[in-house]
Amino acid sequence: MKVQVCIIGGGPSGLLLSQLLHRQGIETVVLEKHTRDHVLGRIRAGVLEHGFAALMREAGCGERMDREGERHHGFLIAHAGGRMDRVDLHRYSGGNSVLVYGQTELTRDLYDGRETSGAATMFEAEGVALHDITSPRPWVSYRSRGEPCRVDCDYIVGADGFHGMSRHSIPRDVLREYERVYPFGWLGVLSRTPPVSPELIYVRHERGFALCSLRSQVLSRYYVQVPLSDRAAAWSDEAFWAELRRRLPAEVAARLITGPSIEKSIAPLRSFVAEPMRHGRLFLAGDAAHIVPPTGAKGLNSAGADIHYLYHAMRAHYRHNDDTGLEAYSQKALTRVWQAQRFSWWMTAMLHRFPDNGSYDDRLQQAELSYLFSSESALASLAENYVGLPY
Ligand code: FAS
Ligand code: PHB
């Protein structure tokens, strides 16, 4: 097979880029390790920056997102003694907002868009390997149902997530990795229950962080911080709901409607960046290059910025033989990646209970929150990061 761009990974990063390029007549193939159903079985992000939503529309896959997604102009932070304060995103970001629409649904929309376009997606692609990535004619090998296959291309995009292989195709003496692993995880539950609040509630509590989110008015998403040693199977639904109630302000806990969990999992938290995001004709995008703790809702949205830069760079290359975007990609993407890293770390440090924290750290977190809600410029800083810094 010969294409212009070979994309490794059929998650939101790879699919969004492939759809955007396809609409510009740039031929791509997506190699995905698993089946479509397996990919769609993952419960992940829930909040889209306005820039990400705009990319979905430009990819021709935004219609259901705009119909079913919920525009949110603010969120709440519950902290000292059950007090709740609102972050007015609309006011402090100059009129911007976020869209609450699950990653599972947007990935489904992207798959539907790709199938309608007739572009090629190879599912259950095994043993993907990259070859001659610093030559003008890179190629990719993989097996499909045991049969050896080959893709010749101009460029390879590694959008295969944190556990993918593409990052490891960059020589060890070139690749630099930066990482911080947090001593806790998020136990998440999805339930077919009405959300406890019309807006998200982030909770700082002495027992640990909690988050009340949603996917729709009949589908709620909740999280509680748990030790890394915990296993989701050891948490009964009753134990989860009781722990969540303990961490919520009394009036919120009183109106919480519980129900059976339809998904329950623990996500470990880490901050991670791999540099550079380009080596020869290989470009890294999304979780393949960076990971953030989900506190700031920047994981999927950071991937969106990478895709924006890569899409415009490849379009300029094929339309105008202009390679300035490709040359600048890694540096430009990493500048925004590190802003998302900073914000995600800040939100995580402010709201979570760190096992080694002493009384000083506890008071510092309280001071951070009281400063935040006493300063318009602090609220403006949070708001502009949460809705999404400019691309
Ligand atoms: P993905 O990991 O989504 O997709 C990569 C794809 O590549 C996968 O489909 C995988 O099967 C495929 N692949 C891997 N290796 C391959 C190989 N060798 N060959 C071919 N294909 C291969 N972000 C938020 O903003 N909010 C959240 O609440 C949130 N929760 C999360 C919870 C969990 C458990 C995880 C893991 C992540 C979470 N994230 C969250 C971040 C998440 O949403 C990612 O940012 C998003 O999935 C990034 O998309 P991709 O870069 O496409 O990577
Ligand atoms: C979610 O709905 O899954 C979600 C929302 C906001 C976050 C993290 C996760 O910061």
Does residue 379 line the site of ligand 1, with CB under 6 A?
no
Active-site residue flag, 293: no
pLDDT at position 292? 98
Question: pLDDT above 90 covers what percent of the chain?
Answer: 99
281 CB-side CA count, 13 A: 21
pLDDT at position 295? 98
What would the mean pLDDT of 374-378 be, rounded to a whole number? 98
Q: Mind listing the domains of the chain with CATH numbers?
A: 5-71+99-179+270-350 (3.50.50.60), 182-269+356-387 (3.30.9.10)
Residue 379 pLDDT greater than 90, yes or no: yes
Residue 169 pLDDT greater than 90, yes or no: yes
Using DSSP, state whether 251 is helix, strand or coil: helix
Atom of ligand 1 nearest to the CA of 31: 20
Predicted confidence band of residue 199 (pLDDT cuts 50, 70, 90): very high
pLDDT at position 82? 84
Residue 380 pLDDT greater than 90, yes or no: yes
Residue 15 pLDDT greater than 90, yes or no: yes
Mean pLDDT, the chain, rounded, equals 97
Does residue 297 line the site of ligand 2, with CB under 6 A?
yes
Tokens representing residue 340 in the block: 């998302």
Cα(374) to ligand 1 centroid in Å equals 37
pLDDT in tens, 117-156: 999 999 999 999 999 999 999 999 999 999 999 999 999 9
Active-site residue flag, 294: yes
Q: In Å, how far are 9, 23, 138, 300, 305 from 329, measured between CA atoms?
A: 19, 21, 19, 18, 11
CA dihedral of 109, 111, 117, 118, whole degrees rounded to 10? -160
Give the count of beta carbons closer than 10 Å to the beta carbon of residue 282: 21
How far apart, in whole angstroms, are the C-alpha atoms of residue 244 and residue 239? Answer: 9
Residue 80 pLDDT greater than 90, yes or no: no
How far apart, in whole angstroms, are the C-alpha atoms of residue 59 and residue 26? Answer: 13
Active-site residue flag, 194: no
pLDDT in tens, 27-70: 999 999 999 999 999 989 999 999 999 999 999 999 999 999 99
Output phi, psi for 161, to 5 deg. Answer: 75, 175
Q: Which of 101, 202, 309, 329 is catalytic?
A: 202
**Which among 253, 359, 285 is positioned nearest to 18, based on CA atoms?**
285
Distance of CA 120 to the CA centre of its chain: 24
pLDDT at position 81? 82
Predicted confidence band of residue 186 (pLDDT cuts 50, 70, 90): very high
**How much of the chain is helix, strand and coil, in % rounded to 5?**
40, 30, 30
How far apart, in whole angstroms, are the C-alpha atoms of residue 372 and residue 347? Answer: 11
Active-site residue flag, 386: yes
pLDDT at position 116? 95
Predicted confidence band of residue 310 (pLDDT cuts 50, 70, 90): very high
CB 6 within 8 A of CB 102: no
How far apart, in whole angstroms, are the C-alpha atoms of residue 244 and residue 252? Answer: 10
